């Protein structure tokens, strides 16, 4: 159900990127990329949080519906949320809670990946994620109230967004889909673990295993061709050598001439 996402998009208009860039000391282009990446990431966070503890997730989005100024005051409200982040029980605190609850120890890896993608500082990327998370929580609470959804209905609606959230991820960030819970793990991902596999994919590229398999196959084929060529052009070196005959010990008679006549002294050795 993409109605929820359609309702969310107007909350993050293009003009917001310029205001956030000025507040955080980043470029407008970088902030725009950060916002575009943060929305599907935090939607996946909503899904992960709701499937882990649906009652708590339902209560949190109901609470955030009241404290998310962006729902009522547009860009001004969004900037007010950012300026209010130090206040206790602020909307930004709710966004921070969502980031930690949804991704746990993988949160920092995700922040670094998005920071590299958007070319903004990790701290700025974290604040964008918390801001988007707080806004999405409030919008989710508002949507659930209007549609009269209970906790089970909310989880069902969120689960239907997995494919849409994956499609919204920038192509450079598709390798995050396993850590974000948008795609099942392969046998390599199960063996290495999500964080290790994420770092490997970012370091060596998303198609490393395919390249490794092709390279290994080519090496084996070339080795076989080399052995065959060697046997063809050097048959003597690979032919079986005949067994060596035992050394020949000549036999005969030795005649030693003794003094004073011819007499065989030693024979047959």
| pLDDT in the model for residue 234 | 62
Closest to 29 in 3D by CA, of 112, 118, 126, 125: 118
| pLDDT in the model for residue 195 | 46
| pLDDT in the model for residue 231 | 67
Structure tokens at 74: 């547009």
Q: Please report, for residues 251, 254, 255, 256, 268, the alpha-carbon distance to residue 262 in angstroms, rounded to integers and kept in the order given.
A: 21, 12, 8, 8, 17
| pLDDT in the model for residue 224 | 75
Q: What is the pTM of this model?
A: 0.66
User: What string of pLDDT tens digits covers the 269 residues of the chain?
Assistant: 568 888 888 888 889 999 999 999 999 999 999 999 999 999 999 998 888 888 888 888 888 877 666 566 678 888 888 877 767 777 888 889 899 989 988 999 999 999 999 999 999 999 999 999 988 988 888 888 888 989 899 889 999 888 888 998 998 899 888 888 887 655 444 444 444 444 444 444 444 445 555 566 667 777 776 767 666 766 555 455 555 555 555 555 555 454 555 545 444 44
| pLDDT in the model for residue 64 | 82
- Listing DSSP states for 54-79 in one string gives HHHHHHHHHHHHHH-THHHHHHHHHH
Check residue 259 and report its DSSP letter. Answer: T
Q: Which residues of 205-235 are buried (b: 16+ CB within 10 A; e: fewer)?
A: eeeeeeeeeeeeeeeeeeeeeeeeeeeeeee
């Amino acid at each position: 159900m993409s109605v929820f996402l359609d309702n969310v998009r107007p909350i993050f208009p293009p003009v917001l990127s310029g205001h956030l860039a000025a507040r955080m000391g980043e470029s407008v282009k970088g902030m725009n990329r950060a916002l575009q990446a943060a929305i599907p990431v935090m939607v996946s966070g909503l899904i992960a949080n709701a499937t882990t503890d649906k009652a708590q997730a339902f209560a949190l989005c109901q609470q955030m519906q009241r404290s998310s100024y962006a729902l009522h005051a547009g860009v001004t409200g969004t900037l007010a949320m950012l300026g209010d982040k130090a206040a206790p029980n602020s909307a930004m605190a709710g966004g921070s809670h969502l980031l930690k609850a949804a991704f746990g120890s993988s949160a920092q890896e995700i922040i670094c990946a998005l920071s590299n993608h958007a070319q903004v500082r990790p701290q700025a990327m974290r604040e964008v994620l918390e801001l988007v998370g707080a806004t999405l929580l409030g919008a989710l609470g508002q949507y659930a109230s209007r549609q009269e959804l209970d906790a089970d209905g909310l989880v069902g609606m969120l689960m239907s967004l997995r494919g849409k959230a994956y499609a919204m991820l920038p192509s450079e960030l598709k390798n995050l889909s396993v850590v974000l819970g948008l795609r099942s793990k392969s046998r390599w991902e199960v063996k290495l673990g999500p964080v290790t596999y994420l770092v490997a994919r970012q370091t060596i590229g998303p198609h490393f295993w395919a390249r490794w398999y092709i390279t290994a196959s080519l090496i084996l084929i070339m080795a076989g061709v080399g052995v065959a060529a060697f046997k063809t052009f050097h048959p003597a070196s690979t032919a079986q050598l005949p067994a060596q005959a035992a050394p020949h010990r000549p036999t005969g008679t030795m005649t030693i001439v003794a003094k004073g006549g011819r007499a065989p002294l030693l024979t047959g050795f």
